[in-house]
């Protein structure tokens, strides 16, 4: 498919087969037997109506769960209309769980003092990793990477869907996006959760939560479809609400109302929190005259780091959390030392090339944190002004491999038209400033995303979480980027070069003369691997074979076992 071909509107009506598939997905999760790592729902009927069921200061319903091993879990309940209340939990252990309900209004016998048991089966051995290993992510004990709940390393390869969910980014679209990206080896998507689901000009979720009542409830009920579909497909979501400017529009209490309910309703789903977008932008305030002023010496960071602390303290699962950072020139790392800030989600920015020195500096910060490149060079962006820059598949590969080979442990891809979920190029919104407008379904087929499939397959075939960046290991420069697992394995990524056939390079800092190496060329465009001449030891460094051409290549070096005496 040519992504720049004339726009043809997609069919508006979903096929009967797709509707049947979505209906089956939604029904399945309402009736499925309890299984480890998958949401379980309990229903309650209150004895009477309660004032403002969205009040974050109340505990109308709490479910205290105890596993047969003695492990405990306290789950907040949520209002679901009328006198209906529910609680959703993700059992982290198979076996028998006993539960009791409690309410800060003990006189309500429908919510307080109820008891029961849940018998949880182990996960199916053929289930997706998300459902088999536990999709509520954790930070590894050594703070170098993220893991599934069972401790298995989680490789972060995300797509960016800031327009999802919304009135145009429907549950059917979500199912199509997940199916496509999952087939390409992506493991999650970054989304925003604040847009109106029916009227693009209607109130956002912050305004709905301020008003409360059935209007807010209708939003959350419609949102259920998105999270159930993602969970059923074994897909992970990284979720934030709005952007740094929400501090200018809504009080901390309003943020608490939103996150308190979101935690209760969706905390059992496989999601990670990024709090908000560009949380540490320079502080903007709006005066009585409506004018906005910016203070370059302060940021919005304190507001959102306090919010992150509040959320983490109330999260029963203590999942890994982050905050989407401002572009690197404005990133002051406000949240870095916060205990809740489990990993860094950077923003290298658009129309940029990878800067290994910057990544090294961030990865060396203390305390140690896993670092992910969360927003860099959306494919399809074009900068016509000097110097011109077109973000094509080559630029995407350089950004992704460049970040990971420089110390990051994951990468988030993005594409013009898809990140904002454009359905009609006549209404592109701000995305029009970034070059020819693509619709989301056109952008879904861009070449760079297909190349990310090869990136994911390569790293997941190796102990990627043990790889450490070797600074200036190639000819004493960053002309190529090396990452090694001790003296056993080394990956050398050669960035696109200006010369058709760059000369051979020298690798230092890996293994030694007594460790003969085997070599394979990995083609980032096709994923193919072909044998390469073995490096020769020369004056304290390895003389590497010249790459096949001036394009980017990965050289995979493995230490060969020495013969026993």
CA 510-515-518 angle, to 5 degrees, is 85
Q: pLDDT class for 15, splitting at 50, 70, 90?
A: low
Q: pLDDT class for 287, splitting at 50, 70, 90?
A: confident
Task: Find out whether 436 and 382 touch, Cβ atoms under 8 Å.
Answer: yes
End-to-end CA distance of the chain: give it in Å, rounded: 59
Element (H, E) at 390: strand 389-390
Q: pLDDT class for 8, splitting at 50, 70, 90?
A: very low
> What's the gap between Cα 81 and its chain centre?
31
Tell me the per-residue pLDDT of 362-377, one tens digit each, with 9 for 90 and over: 999 999 999 999 999 9
Tell me the per-residue pLDDT of 235-258, one tens digit each, with 9 for 90 and over: 999 999 999 999 999 999 999 999
Whether the per-residue pLDDT at 72 is higher than 80: the answer is: yes
Tell me the per-residue pLDDT of 296-316, one tens digit each, with 9 for 90 and over: 899 999 999 999 999 999 999
Query: Exposed, middle or buried, 429 (CB in 10 Å: 0-12/13-18/19+)?
Result: exposed
Whether the per-residue pLDDT at 345 is higher than 50: the answer is: yes
Q: pLDDT class for 54, splitting at 50, 70, 90?
A: very high
Q: pLDDT class for 17, splitting at 50, 70, 90?
A: low
Distance CA 389, CA 391 (A): 6
Whether the per-residue pLDDT at 564 is higher than 90: the answer is: no
> What's the gap between Cα 518 and its chain centre?
35
- The region of weakest confidence among 31-40, 90-99, 117-126, 329-338 is 31-40
Confidence at residue 306, expressed as pLDDT on a 0 to 100 scale: 98
Average pLDDT on 479-488 reads 95
Confidence at residue 9, expressed as pLDDT on a 0 to 100 scale: 36
Q: Which of 269, 228, 317 is nearest to 31 (CA)?
A: 228
Tell me the per-residue pLDDT of 88-131, one tens digit each, with 9 for 90 and over: 999 999 999 999 999 999 999 999 999 999 999 999 999 999 99
Whether the per-residue pLDDT at 3 is higher than 70: the answer is: no
Q: pLDDT class for 27, splitting at 50, 70, 90?
A: low
Confidence at residue 1, expressed as pLDDT on a 0 to 100 scale: 32
Confidence at residue 420, expressed as pLDDT on a 0 to 100 scale: 95
Write the CB contacts of 269 (distance below 8 Å, at least 6 apart in sequence).
39, 88, 90, 135, 227, 230, 231, 237
Position with higher pLDDT, 290 vs 263: 263
> Would you say how long the chain is, in residues?
565
Average pLDDT on 521-542 reads 96
Task: Find out whether 277 and 324 touch, Cβ atoms under 8 Å.
Answer: yes
Average pLDDT on 30-40 reads 84
Confidence at residue 201, expressed as pLDDT on a 0 to 100 scale: 86
Domains in the chain (CATH in brackets) are: 34-120 (2.60.40.10), 130-463 (3.20.20.80), 470-559 (2.60.40)
Whether the per-residue pLDDT at 23 is higher than 90: the answer is: no
Whether the per-residue pLDDT at 31 is higher than 50: the answer is: no
Whether the per-residue pLDDT at 280 is higher than 80: the answer is: yes
Whether the per-residue pLDDT at 18 is higher than 70: the answer is: no
Confidence at residue 384, expressed as pLDDT on a 0 to 100 scale: 83
Q: Sort residue 230 into left (φ over 0), alpha (ψ -120 to 50) or beta.
A: alpha
Q: pLDDT class for 83, splitting at 50, 70, 90?
A: very high
DSSP-assigned beta bridge partners for residue 383? 389
Distance CA 418, CA 396 (A): 15
CA 43-45-49 angle, to 5 degrees, is 135
**The model's pTM:** 0.93
Whether the per-residue pLDDT at 58 is higher than 60: the answer is: yes
Whether the per-residue pLDDT at 33 is higher than 50: the answer is: yes
Tell me the per-residue pLDDT of 177-204, one tens digit each, with 9 for 90 and over: 999 999 999 999 999 988 899 888 899 9
Distance CA 455, CA 177 (A): 19
Whether the per-residue pLDDT at 421 is higher than 80: the answer is: yes
Distance CA 417, CA 431 (A): 7
Write down the mean pLDDT value for the chain.
Answer: 92
Q: What is the DSSP letter of 414?
A: -
Other beta carbons within 10 angstroms of residue 333's beta carbon come to 15
β-pairing, 146-147 vs 138-139, is antiparallel
Per DSSP, the three-state class of 188 is strand
Confidence at residue 349, expressed as pLDDT on a 0 to 100 scale: 94
Q: pLDDT class for 20, splitting at 50, 70, 90?
A: low
- The region of weakest confidence among 26-30, 276-280, 463-467 is 26-30
* C-alpha Rg value of the chain to the nearest Å: 25
Task: Find out whether 280 and 325 touch, Cβ atoms under 8 Å.
Answer: yes
Q: What is the DSSP letter of 96?
A: E
Q: At what angle do helices 393-405 and 447-460 cross, to 10 degrees?
A: 30
Distance CA 498, CA 501 (A): 9
Distance CA 431, CA 437 (A): 7
């Amino acid at each position: 498919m040519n992504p720049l071909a004339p726009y043809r509107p997609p069919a508006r009506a979903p096929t009967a087969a797709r509707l049947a598939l979505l209906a089956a997905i939604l029904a399945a999760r309402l009736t499925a037997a309890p299984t480890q790592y998958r949401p379980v729902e309990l229903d309650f009927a209150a004895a009477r109506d309660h004032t403002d069921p969205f009040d974050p200061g109340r505990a109308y319903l709490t479910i205290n769960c105890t596993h047969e091993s003695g492990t405990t879990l306290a789950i907040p309940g949520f209002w679901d209309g009328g006198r209906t209340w529910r609680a959703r939990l993700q059992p982290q252990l198979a076996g028998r769980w006993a539960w009791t309900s409690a309410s800060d209004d003990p006189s309500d016998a429908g919510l307080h003092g109820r008891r029961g048991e849940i018998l949880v089966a182990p996960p199916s051995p053929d289930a997706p990793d998300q459902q088999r290993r536990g999709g509520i992510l954790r930070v590894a004990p050594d703070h170098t990477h993220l893991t599934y709940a069972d401790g298995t390393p989680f490789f972060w390869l995300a797509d960016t869907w800031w327009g999802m969910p919304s009135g145009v980014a429907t549950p059917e679209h979500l199912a199509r996006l997940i199916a496509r990206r999952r087939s390409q080896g992506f493991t999650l998507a970054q989304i925003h959760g604040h847009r109106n689901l029916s009227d693009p000009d209607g109130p956002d979720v912050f305004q709905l939560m301020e008003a409360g009542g059935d209007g807010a409830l209708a939003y959350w009920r419609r949102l259920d479809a998105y999270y159930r579909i993602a969970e059923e497909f074994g897909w992970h979501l990284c979720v934030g609400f709005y952007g740094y400017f929400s501090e200018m529009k809504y009080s901390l209490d309003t943020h608490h109302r939103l996150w308190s309910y979101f935690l209760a309703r969706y905390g059992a789903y496989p999601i990670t929190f990024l709090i908000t977008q560009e949380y540490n932008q320079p502080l903007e305030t709006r005066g009585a005259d409506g004018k906005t002023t910016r203070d370059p010496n302060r940021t919005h960071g304190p507001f959102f780091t306090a919010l992150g602390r509040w959320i983490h303290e109330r999260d029963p699962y203590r999942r890994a959390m982050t905050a989407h950072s401002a572009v690197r020139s404005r990133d002051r790392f406000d949240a870095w030392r916060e205990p809740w800030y489990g990993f860094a989600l950077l923003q290298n920015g658009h129309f940029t090339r990878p800067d290994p020195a910057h990544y090294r500096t961030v990865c060396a910060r203390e305390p140690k944190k896993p670092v992910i490149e969360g927003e860099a060079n959306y494919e399809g962006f074009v900068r016509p002004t000097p110097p011109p820059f077109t973000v094509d598949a080559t630029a995407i590969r350089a950004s992704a491999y460049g970040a990971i080979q420089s110390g990051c442990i994951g990468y988030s891809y993005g594409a013009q038209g898809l990140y904002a979920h454009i359905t009609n190029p006549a209404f592109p919104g701000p995305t029009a400033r970034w070059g020819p407008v693509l619709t989301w379904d056109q952008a879904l087929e861009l070449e760079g995303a297909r190349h990310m499939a090869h990136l994911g397959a390569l790293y997941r075939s190796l102990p990627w979480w043990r790889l450490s960046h070797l600074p200036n290991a190639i000819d004493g420069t960053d002309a190529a980027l090396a990452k090694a697992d001790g003296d056993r394995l080394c990956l050398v990524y050669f960035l696109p070069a200006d010369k058709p056939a760059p000369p051979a390079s020298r690798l230092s800092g890996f293994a030694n003369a007594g460790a003969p190496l085997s070599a394979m060329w990995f083609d980032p465009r096709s994923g193919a691997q072909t044998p390469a001449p073995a490096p020769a030891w020369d004056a304290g460094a390895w003389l590497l074979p010249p790459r096949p051409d001036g394009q980017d290549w990965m050289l995979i070096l493995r230490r060969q076992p020495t013969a026993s005496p």
